[in-house]
Amino acid sequence: MNRSVLVVAKWEFFRFFKWRDQLIGVLTLLVTSALAFAAVTFAQSSNEVNLAVVGFNETLKLSEKSRIKVRSSTETVKQLRLQLADQSLDGILLIGERVNNDPELDVELIVRRQPSWVGEIQQTMNELKSSRAMAKASMVPEVLQQIFSPQGIKVTTTMPNGVSLADRIVAIGMGGFMMVVNFLGLSFFMIGVTGEKQQRITEQIVSAISPQSWIDGKLIGLTGASFASVATMLVGGLAIFGIFWLAGYGVSFPDSLTRWDLLPLLAILFLGGAVFWNCFFAAVSSIINDPNTSAKSGLLFMPMLPIAAGFLAIPQPDGIAMRLLSILPGTSSTAMPIRLLLGNVAWWELALCLLLLIGGILILRLAAGRIFAAGIMLYGKEPTWIEVLRWAMKG
């Protein structure tokens, strides 16, 4: 690798990845999350509901964390309505027994306006009615619980790490990760190649270094910038995760995220996929003069199709379609990580996937360099597809 490639890579990386901006982004995310969390906690703790129960001597069983504070009242409804009016009371619950020891009660809730906590009262009254009905039928609660409890099914997986819902979420997350990396790569190359072409920067640079060195530097720098940006987002996400963990919300890492043996392989697949598609972006963005009017702009969204296909294949990770997608260079960066997590990958499939990915990158890099060299010098007129193909084949 010649020195000019590294010079370009460093320049392009820091053009798009600004430490200060990234840090501000993460801090903003953290502060916003912390404020939202604090606001919700404060709202829940300060919003105590005072409810007066009239005509019922038993204690209503509300959950321990309920913000509804119940007191039995002997005051008249008229007096309680006055308290409701001056907001020292939030609701009056009138409960009346029916004849013949009917488990159904006559219940009326008097409030100033429709409350958000009515569901909790509904649930409490449902439970009260059930227990009264059971008592009337001389039934113990354990029997009723047995009647309504579902039949348990023990699921035994043959793979070392079973596929849990958490694993599926992680698989979707990885697909999302590649989508974000690809979108960032796409936007960076549109600015970094088409934008430079529009700003007429290209000729002077190509007089100093070869187009292949320039595109190689851009590939390294812009791929690095897109990964670094996504990594910063992940750090922010982990920090939010940490806030919830510290607050005792009982969140925990999915097992698949702690499979350290897979991490190097996933990193290679992600990086390879990003470089592969960035080669494609470099070639296409160099033949576009104006993304707003060019018919070729639609082509830049092509890398999103295999990612979408990967998502669809999650239910059948070892199906024919998914096996094919996990081997082809354009889609393997999304499909193979999903299969590694959710499916059963043969060693030869993995070897073929890596071989094709590396080969694909080398071929696409060369073709992209040739298209880039010709495309960046072409102003005003966009080349035809035949011309682009000829450049890619012969330079």
Q: Give the DSSP letter string of 259-326.
A: -TTTHHHHHHHHHHHHHHHHHHHHHHHHT-S-TTT-GGGGGGGTTHHHHHHHHHTTTSTTSHHHHHHT
* Choice between 180 and 205, CB closer to another protein: 205
Q: Give the DSSP letter string of 275-286.
A: HHHHHHHHHHHH
207 makes contact with another protein (CB under 8 A): yes
104 makes contact with another protein (CB under 8 A): no
Which one of residues 45, 116, 204, 292 is an interface residue with another protein (CB under 8 A)?
Answer: 204
CA dist 16 to 23, 55, 94, Å? 14, 70, 65
Q: Is residue 308 a contact partner of residue 257, using CB atoms and an 8 Å limit?
A: no
* Choice between 109 and 205, CB closer to another protein: 205
* Choice between 237 and 395, CB closer to another protein: 395
95 makes contact with another protein (CB under 8 A): no
Which one of residues 201, 251, 305, 321 is an interface residue with another protein (CB under 8 A)?
Answer: 201
209 makes contact with another protein (CB under 8 A): yes
Least CB distance from residue 203 to another protein, whole Å? 4
8 makes contact with another protein (CB under 8 A): yes
Q: Is residue 281 a contact partner of residue 186, using CB atoms and an 8 Å limit?
A: yes
* Choice between 27 and 208, CB closer to another protein: 208
Q: Is residue 145 a contact partner of residue 274, using CB atoms and an 8 Å limit?
A: no
Q: Is residue 342 a contact partner of residue 317, using CB atoms and an 8 Å limit?
A: yes
Q: Which two tokens stand for residue 330?
A: 């354009």
How many angstroms separate the CA atoms of 288 and 368, rounded?
14
Residue range at the interface with another protein (CB under 8 A); choices 2-10, 98-106, 165-173, 234-242: 2-10
200 makes contact with another protein (CB under 8 A): yes
Q: Which of residues 157-196 bind another protein (CB under 8 A)?
A: 196
Which one of residues 1, 11, 244, 290 is an interface residue with another protein (CB under 8 A)?
Answer: 11
* Choice between 206 and 234, CB closer to another protein: 206
Site for another protein (CB under 8 A): how many residues? 20
Q: 96-105 — which CB contacts under 8 Å span 24+ positions?
A: 96/55, 101/136, 103/129, 103/132, 103/133, 103/135, 103/136, 104/129, 105/56, 105/129, 105/132
7 makes contact with another protein (CB under 8 A): yes
* Choice between 5 and 174, CB closer to another protein: 5
15 makes contact with another protein (CB under 8 A): yes
199 makes contact with another protein (CB under 8 A): yes
Q: Is residue 334 a contact partner of residue 273, using CB atoms and an 8 Å limit?
A: yes
The b/e string for 352-379 (b: 16+ C-beta within 10 A; e otherwise) is: ebbebbeebbeebbebbbbbbbbbbeee
3 makes contact with another protein (CB under 8 A): yes
Q: Hey, what's the torsion of the CAs at 304, 309, 311, 315, to 10 degrees?
A: 180
290 makes contact with another protein (CB under 8 A): no
Query: Which residue carries 């958490």 as its tokens?
Result: 166
* Choice between 7 and 34, CB closer to another protein: 7
* Choice between 67 and 390, CB closer to another protein: 390
Residue range at the interface with another protein (CB under 8 A); choices 8-16, 60-68, 284-292, 299-307: 8-16
How many angstroms separate the CA atoms of 220 and 15, rounded?
13
Query: What 8-state DSSP symbol labels residue 110?
Result: E
* Choice between 192 and 273, CB closer to another protein: 192
State the burial class of residue 163 (Cβ atoms within 10 Å of its Cβ: 0-12, 13-18, 19+).
middle
263 makes contact with another protein (CB under 8 A): no
208 makes contact with another protein (CB under 8 A): yes
Which one of residues 82, 263, 351, 377 is an interface residue with another protein (CB under 8 A)?
Answer: 377
* Choice between 6 and 265, CB closer to another protein: 6
22 makes contact with another protein (CB under 8 A): no
Q: Kindly state the helix (H) or strand (E) to which residue 72 belongs, with its residue range.
A: strand 68-73
* Choice between 298 and 380, CB closer to another protein: 380
Q: Which two tokens stand for residue 361?
A: 């990158």
253 makes contact with another protein (CB under 8 A): no
- Residue numbers of the site for another protein (CB under 8 A)? 3-4, 7-8, 11, 15, 196, 199-201, 203-210, 377, 379
